[in-house]
Amino acid sequence: MRPKGKLFALLAVFAAIGLVTASGAFTTVDADRTATVDVNGDAAALLQMNASNAANGAYASSGNNQVTIDFNNGNSGLNPNAVTTISLVFNITNQGTQPVDVTVDDSNISDTDLTDSEFKIFHGTAPGDDIETSSETLDSGEQISIGFKIDLTDVTSSTEFDINLDVFAEA
């Protein structure tokens, strides 16, 4: 009589080989997956930008999804023939996952009455803490406040300047 044990052993080997073949090879996989991306205004997005809670936050507003700064703001604007420093105007908060290096740039300034060096952007309350060329690192959840130092000593007449601010945050 043939011993039953050997037959069982042979079957087991075939079964094992069969499993390896079935589990290991594939020719194509097409996997359709969902992406959901919500879009938010500056006040709620991954890089949050909103008016500061300090008094100078009154110069900033969050209309039309974008933070906007207006130093005219119902008044008659900045003094000509003067240097004006306004700190704590708007806040930038990192609401993303990683620390990011933040800069704020006014690269589009081309007006001869207000040059790049006459329009300084800084963080905190010290105008020397430049954030145009020197980045500031924000950990996840961290916030900084942005201010401006505007030199209008060579401006004598009423003039309006439109300046785009580019906020750049990079991990």
Q: How far is the CB of 171 from other proteins (least distance, A)?
A: 7
Structure tokens at 168: 């750049």
| φ and ψ of 124, to 5 deg | 75, -145
Structure tokens at 102: 């933040």
Angle at 145 between CA 84 and CA 149, to 5 degrees: 15
Options 26-34, 51-59, 117-125, 156-164: segment touching other proteins (CB under 8 A): 26-34
Angle at 64 between CA 61 and CA 69, to 5 degrees: 30
Question: In the set 15, 38, 81, 112, which binds other proteins (CB under 8 A)?
Answer: 38
Instruction: Single out the residue of 101, 93, 160 nearest to residue 136, CA to CA.
Output: 101
Nearest CB to other proteins, comparing residues 45 and 86: 45
Q: How far is the CB of 97 from other proteins (least distance, A)?
A: 4
Nearest CB to other proteins, comparing residues 100 and 114: 100
Question: In the set 36, 76, 81, 158, which binds other proteins (CB under 8 A)?
Answer: 36
- The one-letter code for the residue type at 16 is A
29 near other proteins, judged by CB under 8 A: yes
Tell me which residues touch other proteins (CB under 8 A).
Answer: 23-42, 44-49, 65-66, 95-98, 140-141, 171
